[in-house]
Amino acid sequence: MRDHSVRAIPRTQSSIALSTDGERWLLCNASPDLHRQIDAAPALQPRGPVRGSPIAGVLLVDGQIDHTAGLLLMRESAAPIEVWSTDAVREDLSGGLPLLPVLDHYSGARWYRLPLGEPLHIPPLPGAELIALPVPGKPGPYSPHRAHPRDGDNIALVVRDERSGARLLYAPGLAMPTAPVLAAMKDCACVLVDGSFWSDDEMIRAGVSRKTAREIGHLPLSGPGGMLETLGSLPAATRRILIHVNNTNPILDEDSAERAMLAAAGIEVAYDGMEIAV
Amino acid sequence: MRDHSVRAIPRTQSSIALSTDGERWLLCNASPDLHRQIDAAPALQPRGPVRGSPIAGVLLVDGQIDHTAGLLLMRESAAPIEVWSTDAVREDLSGGLPLLPVLDHYSGARWYRLPLGEPLHIPPLPGAELIALPVPGKPGPYSPHRAHPRDGDNIALVVRDERSGARLLYAPGLAMPTAPVLAAMKDCACVLVDGSFWSDDEMIRAGVSRKTAREIGHLPLSGPGGMLETLGSLPAATRRILIHVNNTNPILDEDSAERAMLAAAGIEVAYDGMEIAV
């Protein structure tokens, strides 16, 4: 967004960090913009010159480069990086884009299975229950499975705080909210969902791609069955936040009609350094 | 450098961009910090919402992650990325760290051979002659050749402006300046050389590594045969600039005794956005 006639905040690639104790953080997706994101988030910064990072693990919702290349930036970690992903994502990150074997030549990586649809407890998030729900989509273009997607290529992550019972859902790529994903969204205090594109043909009209939003795994915000309609079906108290916003999306212009429609619908747009408590 | 008692400018990974016409730029090394570097360099920024980048090509001096992972950030380029490297680096970037085949699933990459010791003219730098000089060192840790280095794993790049005759040398990793490299340095108006470490055991003393500077391919600045001594042997008019400065290096502290020694020797320390005309 270098057009200064537009009032828009530059944003880096979609990642979030979760913590239940404010000490240890689970990074959800390792963006190539990781350094800029850490700059914007004091809680993620190392606390001493040699002490380790507060990032206690990384959970990947898919194997896309924008969600995984940041692992390379963590290769000088003091200890092996703890990584949670589905089997499908592990396979892609061991083959077509072999970040996990590459890390083995540096700090190392310890991989843990993220099962589909089963509650999981992991050390970086004590007191929280995680559930990964499969989301229809495709693996990264580099994947040998690109033409034959598997369950687990993409997931939505549900995190439940066991003290408060409050749930949060994170789904930066959500081409089609399935019945289980929709049901999970309705149970959440806060949803962080795919806000990539306003309209399905947005990138074609902008001349930057020949593909529609749906073809690359993103439900457009507007139109029948779009994300706004989906979010409109949630209970009134649900906090709705759009993430993974593409730079062609008119909602980045804070003075746009589209942004005004979001505001009227009570939908927020995430920004670097945003903090959310549930 | 998060210790605010030290007066130091944060720096991203070593890359430079060269241009003979101010329009087209050759990026020398594609750092994972590429986005921040482009932010700091208006000449490298796209000139319209859809127009291509002024970056007309990428030349790699080695296959290290800090010099190559930025290729992944260029994968949405409008045209295939033009990449120059030695055969050794191409092999590593096609195998252990297969960035070139990964790019083929996005914008694509067109690879061109960077021969050793032979003058070369390339389209991104009209009116300039390039020579790649082999530099002793090792390929990246991920390389199957790590234990058996090859000529071309690392190079120093000499660029000669054919109008002015002025030469520039770029060598971010220079464990041992060979006779040909030293001779080339003496012919240059400006040298941009390895300023990674002040002392050979700097990272060991800082507790961040068990390896010496020389073991990982960097000549320390201080001590007998060090980079300061080497730079001291150059003609008085040579502009001497240190690049690739590690965050353990005391010269980053602008108030340090080590920095004062550099100033007394007429040696500069590069910074993001620095512009050099030769």
Query: Locate tokens 């072999």: which residue?
Result: A98
Helix (H, G, I), strand (E, B) or coil at B28: strand
Average pLDDT, rounded, for chain A: 91
Banded pLDDT at A19 (limits 50, 70, 90): very high
Distance CA A37, CA A41 (A): 6
Q: pLDDT, tens digit, for every residue of B151-193?
A: 999 999 999 999 999 999 999 999 889 999 999 999 999 999 9
Chain A residue with CA closest to B141: the answer is A105
What is the DSSP code string of B57-72? EEE-SS--HHHHGGGG
Q: How far is CA A52 from CA A45, A221, B209, B243, in A?
A: 9, 40, 13, 27
User: How confident is the model at residue A3, as a pLDDT?
Assistant: 36
Higher pLDDT, B47 or A258: A258
pLDDT reading at B14 higher than 80: no
Chain B residue with CA closest to A39: the answer is B2
Across the interface, of A36, A75, A140, the residue whose CB is closest to B36 is: A36
- How would you list the strands of the sheet with A267-269, edge to edge? A128-134, A155-161, A167-171, A190-194, A239-243, A267-269
Instruction: Tell me the nearest-neighbour CA distance from A270 into chain B, angstroms.
Output: 20
Average pLDDT, rounded, for chain B: 91
What is the DSSP code string of A66-132? HHHGGGGGGTT-SSPEEEEE-HHHHHHTTTTS-HHHHHTTTT-EEEEE--BSS-B--TTSTTEEEEE
Distance CA B160, CA B166 (A): 6
Across the interface, of A32, A96, A98, the residue whose CB is closest to B72 is: A32
List A residues 30-89 in contact with B (Cβ-Cβ < 8 A): 32-33, 35-36, 45-46, 49-50, 65, 69, 72-73, 75
pTM of the predicted model as reported, rounded to 2 decimal places: 0.89
Distance CA B63, CA B169 (A): 19
Radius of gyration of chain B (CA): 18
Banded pLDDT at B2 (limits 50, 70, 90): very low
User: How many contacts does A have with B, using Cβ atoms within 8 A?
Assistant: 62
Helix (H, G, I), strand (E, B) or coil at B273: coil
Q: pLDDT, tens digit, for every residue of A120-135?
A: 999 999 999 999 999 9
H and E: helices and strands count for chain B:
8, 11
Distance CA A150, CA A146 (A): 9
DSSP conformational letter for B80: P
User: How confident is the model at residue A2, as a pLDDT?
Assistant: 34
Distance CA B161, CA B100 (A): 30
Banded pLDDT at B137 (limits 50, 70, 90): confident
Residue B120 CB coordination number (10 Å): 16
Contact between chains at A72 and B73 (C-beta distance less than 8 A): no
Banded pLDDT at A8 (limits 50, 70, 90): low
Contact between chains at A72 and B46 (C-beta distance less than 8 A): no
Distance CA B237, CA B39 (A): 32
Pairing label, strands B239-243, B190-194: parallel
Across the interface, of A72, A98, A206, the residue whose CB is closest to B98 is: A98
Distance CA A99, CA A198 (A): 32
Banded pLDDT at A43 (limits 50, 70, 90): confident
Residue A249 CB coordination number (10 Å): 26
Where do the H-state alpha helices sit in B69-178? 87-92, 99-103
Distance CA A141, CA A244 (A): 18
Q: Provide, as residue numbers in chain A, all residues whose Cβ is less than 8 Å from the Cβ of B146.
A: 105
Q: pLDDT, tens digit, for every residue of B48-104?
A: 655 578 899 999 999 999 999 999 999 988 899 999 999 999 999 999 999 999 999
Pairing label, strands A167-171, A155-161: antiparallel
The whole-angstrom distance between residue B27's C-alpha and the CA centroid of its chain comes to 10
pLDDT reading at A248 higher than 70: yes
Give the mean model confidence (pLDDT) for residues A248-265. 94
Query: Locate tokens 């990539």: which residue?
Result: A196
A25: buried, middle or exposed (CB in 10 Å: 19+, 13-18, 0-12)?
buried
